[in-house]
Homo-oligomer: A and B are copies of this chain.
Amino acid sequence: MKVCIVGASGHYGYALEGIHKRDGIQLAGIAPGSKDERIGELDRSVQAFQPSVSQYEDYRIMLDELKPNIVVINSYFNDNANITIEALERGIHVFVEKPVATTYEDLERVEDTYRKSSVHLATMLGLRYERHFFTAWKKIQEGGIGEVRLMNAQKSYKLGKRSRFYTKRETYGGTIPWVGSHAIDWMHWMSGQKFQSVFASHSTLYNQEHGDLEASALCHFTFSNQVFGSVNIDYFRPEQAPSHDDDRIRIAGTRGVIEVRGQKVYLINDEIEGVQELPLLSGGQIFDDFIGHVREEKKSLLSAEDSFLVTRACLKARESADSQMVVYF
Contact = CB atoms under 8 A, between A and B. Distances in A.
A49 interface: no
A113 interface: no
B237 A152 contact: no
Interface of A: 147, 149-150, 152, 154, 156, 197, 199, 201, 203, 205-206, 215-218, 220, 222, 225-230, 232, 234, 236-242, 246, 250, 252-257, 268-275, 324-326
A65 B304 CA distance: 75
Given A241-B268, A269-B238, A273-B240, A220 B230 contact: yes
Given A274-B242, A326-B326, A237 B257 contact: yes
A108 to B, nearest CB: 27
Nearest to A274: B242
A97 B284 CA distance: 52
B240 A272 contact: yes
Contacts of A152: 152, 154, 230, 232
A234 B201 CA distance: 23
A268 B238 contact: yes
A259 to B, nearest CB: 10
B238 A256 contact: yes
A156 B253 CA distance: 12
A270 B239 contact: yes
30 contacts: A149-B203, A149-B215, A149-B236, A150-B234, A152-B154, A154-B250, A156-B257, A199-B199, A199-B326, A201-B222, A201-B226, A203-B227, A206-B254, A216-B228, A216-B252, A218-B220, A218-B228, A218-B230, A220-B230, A228-B232, A232-B250, A236-B252, A237-B252, A238-B257, A238-B270, A240-B269, A240-B271, A324-B326, A325-B326, A326-B326
Contacts of A227: 203
A252 B218 CA distance: 12
A237 B268 contact: yes
A321 to B, nearest CB: 10
